């Protein structure tokens, strides 16, 4: 299916690795012009070069920390009028909520709620004026399913989700969609680190196998599977799909609706 993304301009936040990189790669394969982002210039440059080689498309990169206003401004300066914005960021390390002081809680809210909102606020009016926009927020199954040690992640992303529920409706008539993509357990560097932390002094491979067995699909997802859902949400023909939370979790979250 042609997703109609040829020459669409896409900004993918936090995309030098993991889910963000996979989404950027899928959009580039579909013909979009992509801007990658991360803090590590060398890792970012290598990722951009790989994507250019693989897709032959336009792939630029901006090394910038999304945790700062200056970093977010630098990212958008490279592409002030994107057609597609995928918001993403690093997630807080797993920690018992009693160990989170006020500063840690504020940093978590900044990373996973304030930063995506700031990017969205900057690009949404232009998308509406041009009559096309696709915003996809990478959130988490933890918005729906409490996960031990990830309370800060759950809270910040739930705040983002609730905030944007109204915004999505406000712009639905302008062919601008705002959707959230909820990864369950997708095999990235971060997930491996989380699993290793959860294993503690035990065997990380055994912990991984235990967690995979608890997923109806029987395995962790791949970043490419996640990215496929992202590209579908960005499709030109997906203009009537907005304000939704789409799980990509192999059936992990057990619900009828």
Ligand X SMILES: NC(=O)c1ccc[n+]([C@@H]2O[C@H](COP(=O)([O-])OP(=O)(O)OC[C@H]3O[C@@H](n4cnc5c(N)ncnc54)[C@H](OP(=O)(O)O)[C@@H]3O)[C@@H](O)[C@H]2O)c1
- Interaction site with ligand X (CB under 6 A): 14-20, 37-40, 43, 65-67, 88-91, 138, 140, 153, 183, 185-186, 188-191
Nearer to ligand X, 138 or 232 (CB): 138
Two tokens, residue 238: 């997906």
Tell the smallest beta-carbon distance from residue 64 to ligand X (Å): 6
**Residue 29 CB, nearest approach to ligand X (Å):** 18
Nearer to ligand X, 57 or 183 (CB): 183
Nearer to ligand X, 45 or 65 (CB): 65
For residue 194, with 0-12 CB atoms within 10 Å meaning exposed, 13-18 middle and 19 or more buried, which class applies? buried
Q: How far is CA 19 from the centre of its chain?
A: 6
Q: Residue 225 CB, nearest distance to ligand X (Å)?
A: 11
Q: Look up residue 66 and give its DSSP letter.
A: T
- Separation CA 231–CA 219 (nearest Å): 22
Minimum CB distance to ligand X smaller for 74 or for 128: 74
Nearer Cβ to ligand X, position 5 or 252? 252
The four Cα atoms 114, 185, 45, 77 give a dihedral, to 10 degrees, of -20
Instruction: Give least dist CB 129 to ligand X, A.
Output: 27
Instruction: List, in order, residues 6 or more apart from 6 with CB less than 8 Å away.
Output: 30, 31, 32
Shortest approach of ligand X to residue 28 CB, angstroms? 15
Strand order in the sheet with 133-138: 59-63, 33-38, 9-12, 84-87, 133-138, 176-183, 245-248
């Amino acid at each position: 299916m042609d997703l109609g993304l040829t020459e669409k301009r896409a900004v993918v936040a936090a995309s030098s690795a993991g889910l963000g990189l996979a989404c950027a790669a899928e959009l580039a394969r579909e013909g979009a012009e992509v801007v990658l982002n991360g803090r590590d210039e060398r890792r970012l440059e290598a990722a951009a070069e790989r994507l250019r080689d693989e897709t032959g498309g336009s792939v630029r990169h901006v090394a910038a920390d999304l945790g700062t206003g200056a970093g977010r401004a630098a990212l958008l300066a490279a592409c002030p009028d994107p057609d597609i914005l995928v918001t993403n960021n690093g997630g807080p390390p797993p920690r018992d909520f009693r160990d989170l002081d006020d500063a840690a809680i504020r940093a978590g809210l900044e990373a996973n709620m304030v930063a995506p909102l700031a990017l969205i606020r900057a690009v949404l009016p232009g998308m509406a004026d041009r009559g096309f926009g696709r915003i996809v927020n990478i959130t988490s199954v933890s918005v729906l399913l409490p996960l031990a040690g990830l309370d800060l992640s759950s809270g910040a992303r739930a705040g983002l989700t609730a905030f944007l529920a109204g915004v999505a409706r406000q712009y639905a008539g302008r062919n601008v969609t705002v959707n959230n993509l909820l990864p369950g357990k997708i095999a990235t560097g971060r997930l491996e680190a989380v699993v290793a932390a959860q294993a503690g002094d035990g065997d990380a491979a055994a912990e991984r196998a235990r967690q995979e067995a608890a997923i109806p699909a029987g395995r962790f997802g791949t970043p490419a599977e996640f990215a496929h859902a992202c590209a579908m949400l960005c499709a030109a023909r997906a203009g009537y799909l907005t304000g939704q939370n789409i799980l990509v979790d192999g059936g992990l979250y057990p619900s009828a609706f």
